[in-house]
Structure 1
Amino acid sequence: MIKATDIYAATHDGLDIILYYYPQAEGCVDNKKKFKRRPDEDDASACIKRFQDCYKVTDFGDTATAMSPIDICMTEENLRFNEAIARLAARYNVTDELKRSVNKPDIRKRPATADEKEGSRFFELEERFTPDQLKIMGPRVKQEHVDALHWHVARSISYVKNREVITKYSTPTYPIFMRECTIDKPEPGKPSVFYKIYEPLNPDKQWRFSYTPEGAKPKQYINGMAELRAAYRKFNADEEAEFRRTAKEDEVYKEKKLPEAFICSGERDSMCLRSLGYHPLWFNSETYRVTAEEIKEIYKYVERLYNIPDIDSTGIRKGRELALRFLDIHTVWLPSWLTGYRDQRGKHRKDFRDFVELRPDYRDFQNLLQLAMPARFWDSQWSERSKKTTYSINTAHLHYFLTLNGFYTLHDDNSDTVRYIHIRDSIVRQIKAKDITSFLRQFTVDRFLPVDIRNLILDSPRTSESSLSLLDEIRLDFTSYTPTGQYFFFPDCCWLVTKDGIERHEGMLPDGRSVWESNVIGHKVKVLPPMFEIKRMQDAEGCDRFDIDVKEHQSCFFRYLINTSRIYWRKELEYAWEDKGADEADRYRTEHKFDIAGPLLTADEVAEQKLNLVNKIYAIGYNLHRYKSPSRAWALFAMDNKIGEEDQCNGRSGKSFLFKAFRFFMRTVSLSGRNPKLMDNPHVYDQVDQHTDFILVDDCDRYLSTSLFYDNITSGMTVNPKNNRSFFIEFEDSPKFGFTTNFVPRDFDASTNARLLYMVFSDYYHEKTPENDYLETRTIRDDFGRNLMTATDYTDDDWNQDINFFAQCLQFYLSMAGCGVKVQPPMDNIIKRKYKSDMGGSFEDWAYGYFAQEGDNLNRLIVRKEAYEAFVDFAKVSKAYWTMQRFTKALKGFTEICPYVAEMNPASMQNASERLMRKDKDGKTQDMIYLRTTDKVLTADDFNPKEEDDGGVSF
């Protein structure tokens, strides 16, 4: 038992506690200075002084009575004494932990005598409990209470083994208790009494209970039942004696029941209940399944039966099960604030003894009884006039019954609409009010209840939506991540994925978490060996390089992802076999069907394909981690690697399949990116709420700018639902974004690159059309002979393989996240596509003609305006559309992709303003352009570096 002196010893004689509540008093210790306890005081009137046992505060502006640190805690937090002790003990880590070196019995051995049989057990009992032993049983427990339940203190317990008597003696730090248990109808040859041995301070909890003699305890046995029967008989004997004193001779006494009995969860809970004057019953384990016959017998003796379960996860589950099996049992639920305190061993409080220790007053328990309800939601009344039973629904009991079955309304700060939910084993499903009514109707059928009760369900206003909307509102924690890990949820378990691997958790979710049913992956899983190994290296310039070793695996999704990363597939699978035999080509294609590092590729080509694959693995892992870090606020941006002509939309490369696979792991909202005015819709995020994990903007139009989403990517987002008020989702809770497009981003500036995590897809999967040169159409199904991730074509093993692959992607990402690494794909072709997009077909045709390799416009100064006019005249375009700024941007793109042009406007030719300015033939200063070829070396004849002029138009 933790005492005030224990807390003072851990808090510098209570000074730490005082300064916790009054930090302003720090300069007033051990001197005569005063401080203000209350900010609104005019004058400082409180002082700190060291007393014999601890520091205390005397406030002369209040009671002028010295307050101990515990008094202060009680005052400032409105706690009772025991609650304050528990609160402070938890805050300052004061425990009364059981220790093997201290909490142990005195064990002695001696040779057995001739009359001491092998295997026999015998004991000596003390006459009374000591005060300390009574406190172990409960804060209110007295000798009369342990006597009533036939508890004794064992002075010693001995047993004979190998002709040696081993005796275990009680000590002040290791008491041994024994309860005499009576069997009403013992089996033939079995004793009518056995003893339950209880060692409450045994550090090994599993060894605290034992029974003697061995085999005497029946399989079905309820502790306290014999005492309840005896109390029933005594009660009626007393009542009958009183009745006989006043009754007439022909009057017959009718037996009466006791008012109530209580099912408790253990020995000490039952003792605390008995100390309050009630009759306890308790089972020998949490797994004991009480029978209907046993409950029926209990009701022979009592009018009302209560159950007081623990409020840990097991206790709550068992309490609900019992309440729903036997609808008339009233359940006394301990208050939830109890778990906020810790016991003397530092563990969360959960049981009735904990409650009595913190709230020992009789009236506190009476308050709990006022809230106890049965699960039976209808009342019945016999009418003498109609000679029939009438039924009515009890609304409070109905709502309680529904909560026992997992029906609630969900607390939602962002909506005025009532959201009905059903919870089963931490899995949450959103439902409608009519689903609750259907459940009630089916319940009455399953329980074979009278038709009048079934009609009540259909006809009563108490089962209408207006009444059901008042169901208990619940707050749930749907957090599925930590900063360093992510949970995956399955029907019978969950996985915690970290950088170190996959950890499986059975049964209930950890830390009271809940999960939407849509986020439960409905497949059986087991953890598989790694499917790949990625090594991170650095080159001579300090840049990151990655290599991947693909292990033996059976994941179809991984194989698909490999092929979407094979950007040199045509060289390997087509061009290399143009002059060779078909059989040899087919054999190679079969052997290397899913090979990221084919032997016909160069080392550089293999490295480029591997980087593409590593980037996809990293991006998948990033998106699966629901945790959002401000330093890694990115959106996935998937595009094709193939360079096409202007406005050529390649597609069919498998991008969308990857992104749509995320829906198996998270709540996803899809938006059509084909509409370039998508963001003009004020209700664009109508389907999004705080539980949405991912927003996919699929198949983006070339003119849909990602800049419209920048704020949503790097900060929170405002949602404006139809027919409801708008609300804001903070960054930490807002969904991640992903984009797929057949076009390149319109911008490759620093702001865009900081927000996007690019993904590049090869054209291994493609569509053959008259406009392209593909030899055939190849789809994902063609590679596997079936559709991937479908209910009809996929087995449980297929799902297990793919789920493991996704989890391993996440594991790789988490291993890189702490290093500040962002794995981008090879971008050469994407940059080229960007430049071709900037030019357009007409400009590219003009530029290759105007700056032909054999022409006169290379390696010489040209007036930019004259070149611009030449293009406008050639392409017959509007200057309003093709502005000088766009022309210059296109010219830069041409310079980057033209194989014989090295640079435009060499830096050595520019003036201090980084512009190329020269006088034209008329002596007028103009903006110039100069395209230097790869074989040209600049000389003094090409320019005059001393000639500078800041005039002209920016270019």
Structure 2
Amino acid sequence: MANYKFNVETLYEKTDNGLDIIKKYLDNCDGFSKALENDKNAFRYRDTDKSASCYLVKNDKGLKGSIGVNYWRVKDFGGDFFTPIGIAMEQSGLDFYPCLKMLYEWFNLDGNNTFFTATVEITTIDDKDKRPLDWFNVVTKEHTQLDIIGTYITPELAKEYDFFSVEYYEKIFINKKTNQKNHIKVSATESFPIFCYMPEKTWCKTYAPFSKDKSFKHGYLGKKPVRHVYGLQKIINKYNSKIDDFNKQIKKSKDDKTTNRLIDERDAYKIPNCIVASGGTDGLNVASLEYDLIWYNSESEQINYAEYSQLKEICKNIYNLPDIDEQGIKYGYEVAEKFWNMKSIWLPKEKLGTNGKDFRDWMKFYKKADLSAVKFQFGNLLTGALKMKFFEKNEKSKRWSIKTSYLHYFLKIKGFHLYYPEKKYTEKTGVQEFIFIRINEHIVEQYFPNDIRKFSEMYLIEKGQPIDVIDLVKNTEQFNEPKLLSMDKIVLDFKNFTEETQTFFYKNQFATISKDGIELKPYKDLKNYVWDYRIVNKNIFAEKQSFRHYKDDNCNDRVEILQKDCDFMNYLINGSRMSWRKELEEPFGDFSNNKELKEAKQKYHNENRFNLSAECLTESERLIQEKHFLNKCFGIGYLLHRYKIESFAKFIYIMDDAPKESEEDSNGRSGKSVLLNGIDKLLNNHYYINGKSKNITTNSHLLDGFTKENDYLRIEDIDQYLGVEFFYNWVTGPISVNPKTKKPYNVEFHDAGKMAATSNFGIGKINQSTLGRLFFISFSDYYHVKTDKYNEERKISHDFNNKDLFSSYWDEKQWNKFYYFLMECCQLYLSNRDNELQAPQTNIHLTNIQASMGENFMNWCDSYFTLSMIDEDSATKEIVHGTLNRFLLRDEVQKAYTSHAGEKYKKTATNFKKSLGEYCKMKGWTFNPVEYLSADKKTIKKPHTNEKGNRNILEFFYVRTNEIEVTIPEQKELQLGERPDDLPF
């Protein structure tokens, strides 16, 4: 790379390999936007080109003359390549080095930024200078750069509209730092021209087209008027007096023939067309086409009734010419609705370039064309101009009729469109599905033809239109579906999330959550769209922070509960109280039949109804409960954020924390499903699967109707024998849908919602693949039914005055706290994606071990594994050998289990050994102590002689306990011919 301050290599490197330079100069060329989409599309480099013959050439494309070229170019078919710097030199008229320097500053590559700046001199003036703060002086010069404003603007035309080139201007102002009067002189340069509008001597508006700072692009000197209509006085001076003369003569006329003649003459004298432009540069470009026009100081300043009436006196037709960016369309629609007889000229996007928005951009498209051709093209735009008043009366027949184009324009302004759902989930070869919609502040609602007809009818009634017009709307076929199909269709983006944010919608405003906080905004600030049925039917307002997540001195994740009046958060707190018995039962002994103890227990419970950190708990117990609470909040936040990360794709698995004593003891009633019920209030379009359905794994249409519109996939109450591995592909890949009577399709990974399930059982098959996909949330048995295991029943409603969560007893404040808390959970997740807040795994792991082994196996182990003991009832006090702390022949152990379990529950050799190891872990025993392992460090191999005297090396198991058992003779290695009488089989 060259070491010069300004060099082409660096320029190209910083401008997308020169593509940004090409776009800057050729953006308005015919067909250029399509060439950007596909470099096989040709475009017209010059307006004089009879056909499109130029192509964009990608860097290092395999063409002759392209190998090794690392920047974009333009190729003229059959001709040469045009480099980005070459195009800039041709278009700007600058030589190489000045052009290079100009491009550096244009793309902010030069730290000095002196090319596109004015010369500024500031001096402090003393108190003797009596010039007031609104004093200014402008020195103008001859026009030399009007082509910057527009191709056909002449000095004479500029003068007509009080538009001047500025040599310099000066004014007095107060320096805010020193609080002293300062004088500033701002001089234009060749690379930084300054213009001004100066219709009066008391003020002027400056315009610096090359200013990088938008706040300095337009400025005012002197006393800015409250309202000024540029060009209006010119029109009045030219036409008003003559029109007034006609009106006076018409008023004095005493016969109809003379009156009609004068009216015809007056109308013939009126201005044919008057254009309301969106700004000064647009206005001057319109004037260069020999049209009368007006404009205002800003786009948001619109024509009022007085000005409209004044123009109607002297103009036949008034047209509005708005910009076509978002704000321009908004203001354009407002004018069209306010003056529904005024036509609007809408510029075609394909002739404005990639970032074009106004009339000057449209003129750039024809910058090389003949003026008469441009006039002709603009005349066509006037011919196709639209107005909101969609009906008219034939003066001869006196009959009313509807103009289809005006009707559809009226409907478009009122937010009606034709919308085609995404083709991905419909038959591509069949009839394309469509619906009619209405958009109001980015909220989308489906309408049917009769709804649209009724809407239009009511609008006209409010407008005070005659009954004949109302009947016309009632009876016309224009509102039938086939007629409405020619309405403008629209493509909408309903995406409500990014990698870093999630947005939710409420009645009064929407909320955007990021790791930094929750931001509430009005719907006018919404950029994407939302279906009306996706809006929560509640208002939302800011709340105080409910909880605070922090790290303690030992880097443990902890929580501080800041508010105590959010019912849903309190339910999650109690669902995280793993040591509730230590608080609510153990201190009060047998309280069931003791009134005093029962009252003391109730008093304590009332005072500590929602408490994670009771004083009677150890620090370790408090930490465990706080981690469980944070884990639930993190899991909720994960589900609420629709963005999916491939490296963190999780299946939320909600289970009971308390280990089961048997398979029949499925726990339940601990409140697991209520967590998802709460999420459903915010994610109101989930896809539901009954986890106890017997045909889940065999139903090929299980996901019929599932699309990317579903917020998440909820599997309720997973059956004990349904392996979660069935869902693995759904977690980490696309989800295949096989709808009935339709073609199958895939919902891609990033489009598909996340997954969550509840279950009363642990995971039977635990491996690395499973652990990598599952995110466990476990609930304590604080909530439970009364059984032999529990002294009393405790429902969720018991903690809330016997009222259910989400029920009608919740007032607006409680609903607000609930939704705000959910969004805080989403914020917690977004701010901790690199700090997965897992639940303490001890009981989860134990439950999963139990599920993995199976109750049948555990029951067998409980009876099979025993310690050696002395038979005290025998006369000889003989030793009865147990199976613990001894070498056991593996084959005989497994045969013993299989004989007990039968074919239904038998295990493979690998699974049997794994289950036995897990059982030992659960009991706190050591399976196959390391000192007994053979050379492979995996198994215990010892010589063994069978009943037939055959001696082999076989595998043994050894289960060692930590208990002291009866002393028995040392176990000797079996010798040839000896029987294994000391073995328990």
TM-score (norm 2): 0.75
**Percentage of identical aligned residues:** 24
Alignment map for 1:311-322 (pairs within 5 Å): 311-322=324-335
Matched, 1:879 2:903: yes
Compute the displacement of 1:377 (Å): 6.3
> Contact between 1:382 and 1:389, CA under 8 Å: does it hold in 2?
yes
Per the alignment, residue 529 of structure 2 pairs with 514
Matched, 1:599 2:615: yes
Cα separation, 1, equivalents of 2:891 and 2:67: 85
Q: AA paired with 1:703?
A: Y
Provide the alpha-carbon RMSD of the alignment.
5.1
Cα separation, 1, equivalents of 2:646 and 2:184: 65
Q: AA paired with 2:414?
A: N
Compute the displacement of 1:688 (Å): 2.5
Compute the displacement of 1:213 (Å): 6.0
Per the alignment, residue 291 of structure 1 pairs with 304
Distance 1:353 1:805, change over 3 A: same
Distance 1:642 1:369, change over 3 A: same
Matched, 1:897 2:942: no
Matched, 1:765 2:783: yes
Compute the displacement of 1:616 (Å): 1.7
Cα separation, 2, equivalents of 1:351 and 1:330: 17
Q: AA paired with 2:411?
A: L
User: Alignment partner for residue 277 of structure 1, among 262, 272, 290?
Assistant: 290
Residues 455-502 of structure 1 show CA distances to partners (whole Å, capped at 9, x for unaligned) of 454544432233434443333333333333333445565544333444
User: Alignment partner for residue 714 of structure 1, among 729, 732, 735?
Assistant: 732
Per the alignment, residue 848 of structure 1 pairs with 862
**Secondary structure at the counterpart of residue 732 of structure 1:** coil
User: Alignment partner for residue 557 of structure 1, among 540, 553, 568?
Assistant: 568
Alignment map for 1:63-102 (pairs within 5 Å): 63=79, 67=82, 69=84, 93=107, 102=117
User: Alignment partner for residue 497 of structure 2, among 478, 481, 484?
Assistant: 481
Compute the displacement of 1:449 (Å): 3.5
> Contact between 2:143 and 2:165, CA under 8 Å: does it hold in 1?
no
Q: AA paired with 1:699?
A: D
Cα separation, 2, equivalents of 1:655 and 1:529: 25
Matched, 1:198 2:206: yes
Compute the displacement of 1:716 (Å): 1.5
Per the alignment, residue 612 of structure 1 pairs with 628
Cα separation, 2, equivalents of 1:834 and 1:136: 75
Per the alignment, residue 932 of structure 1 pairs with 960
Cα separation, 2, equivalents of 1:913 and 1:164: 90
Q: AA paired with 2:409?
A: Y
Distance 1:350 1:940, change over 3 A: farther
**Higher deviation after alignment, 580-589 or 402-411:** 580-589
Compute the displacement of 1:58 (Å): 10
Q: AA paired with 2:529?
A: S
Cα separation, 1, equivalents of 2:824 and 2:657: 26
Cα separation, 1, equivalents of 2:480 and 2:7: 54
Residues 327-374 of structure 1 show CA distances to partners (whole Å, capped at 9, x for unaligned) of 333333344468865xxxxxx653333443454355565287168542
Cα separation, 1, equivalents of 2:917 and 2:383: 78
Give the length in aligned residue pairs. 872
**Secondary structure at the counterpart of residue 388 of structure 1:** coil
Cα separation, 2, equivalents of 1:505 and 1:497: 11
Cα separation, 1, equivalents of 2:929 and 2:106: 71
Cα separation, 2, equivalents of 1:620 and 1:351: 47
Residues 596-620 of structure 1 show CA distances to partners (whole Å, capped at 9, x for unaligned) of 1211112222222222122222222
Residues 622-658 of structure 1 show CA distances to partners (whole Å, capped at 9, x for unaligned) of 2222221111011111101122321323222222222
Compute the displacement of 1:322 (Å): 1.9
Compute the displacement of 1:713 (Å): 0.8
**Secondary structure at the counterpart of residue 314 of structure 1:** helix
Cα separation, 2, equivalents of 1:783 and 1:635: 31
> Contact between 2:352 and 2:365, CA under 8 Å: does it hold in 1?
no
Compute the displacement of 1:755 (Å): 0.6
Per the alignment, residue 149 of structure 1 pairs with 161
Matched, 1:462 2:487: no
> Contact between 1:112 and 1:165, CA under 8 Å: does it hold in 2?
no
Cα separation, 2, equivalents of 1:884 and 1:117: 101
Distance 1:897 1:121, change over 3 A: closer
Compute the displacement of 1:744 (Å): 1.2
Compute the displacement of 1:570 (Å): 1.5
Cα separation, 2, equivalents of 1:38 and 1:268: 35
Cα separation, 1, equivalents of 2:171 and 2:63: 70
Compute the displacement of 1:533 (Å): 2.5
Compute the displacement of 1:760 (Å): 0.6
**Higher deviation after alignment, 903-912 or 587-596:** 903-912
Cα separation, 2, equivalents of 1:38 and 1:178: 44
Compute the displacement of 1:759 (Å): 0.6
Compute the displacement of 1:902 (Å): 3.4
Q: AA paired with 2:768?
A: A
Alignment map for 1:186-335 (pairs within 5 Å): 195-200=203-208, 203=213, 205=215, 208-210=218-220, 217=225, 222-233=229-240, 252=262, 253-256=264-267, 257-288=270-301, 290-335=303-348
Q: AA paired with 1:729?
A: V
**Secondary structure at the counterpart of residue 205 of structure 2:** strand
Distance 1:850 1:117, change over 3 A: closer
**Higher deviation after alignment, 863-872 or 825-834:** 863-872
> Contact between 1:669 and 1:688, CA under 8 Å: does it hold in 2?
yes
> Contact between 2:341 and 2:389, CA under 8 Å: does it hold in 1?
no
Distance 1:634 1:74, change over 3 A: farther
Alignment map for 1:110-125 (pairs within 5 Å): none
Distance 1:606 1:867, change over 3 A: same
Cα separation, 2, equivalents of 1:720 and 1:570: 49
Per the alignment, residue 625 of structure 1 pairs with 641
**Secondary structure at the counterpart of residue 673 of structure 2:** helix
**Secondary structure at the counterpart of residue 856 of structure 1:** coil
> Contact between 1:560 and 1:780, CA under 8 Å: does it hold in 2?
no
> Contact between 1:519 and 1:664, CA under 8 Å: does it hold in 2?
no
Alignment map for 1:42-57 (pairs within 5 Å): 44=64
Q: AA paired with 1:369?
A: L
**Secondary structure at the counterpart of residue 581 of structure 2:** helix
Cα separation, 1, equivalents of 2:824 and 2:974: 58
User: Alignment partner for residue 859 of structure 1, among 860, 885, 901?
Assistant: 885
Q: AA paired with 2:544?
A: L
Compute the displacement of 1:131 (Å): 1.9
Cα separation, 2, equivalents of 1:372 and 1:223: 26
Distance 1:530 1:251, change over 3 A: closer
Per the alignment, residue 746 of structure 2 pairs with 728
Cα separation, 1, equivalents of 2:494 and 2:132: 59
User: Alignment partner for residue 400 of structure 1, among 409, 417, 441?
Assistant: 409
Compute the displacement of 1:730 (Å): 2.0
**Secondary structure at the counterpart of residue 628 of structure 1:** coil
Q: AA paired with 1:306?
A: Y
Distance 1:708 1:417, change over 3 A: farther
User: Alignment partner for residue 180 of structure 1, among 199, 221, 230?
Assistant: 199
Runs of 5+ in structure 2 lacking a partner? 1-5, 23-55, 248-256, 427-431, 591-595, 870-880, 977-985
Per the alignment, residue 777 of structure 1 pairs with 794
Q: AA paired with 2:363?
A: V
Compute the displacement of 1:857 (Å): 2.7
User: Alignment partner for residue 388 of structure 2, among 339, 358, 376?
Assistant: 376
> Contact between 1:331 and 1:373, CA under 8 Å: does it hold in 2?
yes
Distance 1:688 1:430, change over 3 A: farther
Cα separation, 2, equivalents of 1:153 and 1:164: 27
Residues 575-599 of structure 1 show CA distances to partners (whole Å, capped at 9, x for unaligned) of 2222684454334323322221211
Distance 1:831 1:100, change over 3 A: same
Distance 1:837 1:138, change over 3 A: same
Cα separation, 1, equivalents of 2:711 and 2:333: 32
User: Alignment partner for residue 400 of structure 2, among 390, 396, 400?
Assistant: 390
Alignment map for 1:645-684 (pairs within 5 Å): 645-666=662-683, 667-684=685-702
Compute the displacement of 1:16 (Å): 6.2
Matched, 1:829 2:843: yes
Cα separation, 2, equivalents of 1:686 and 1:359: 54
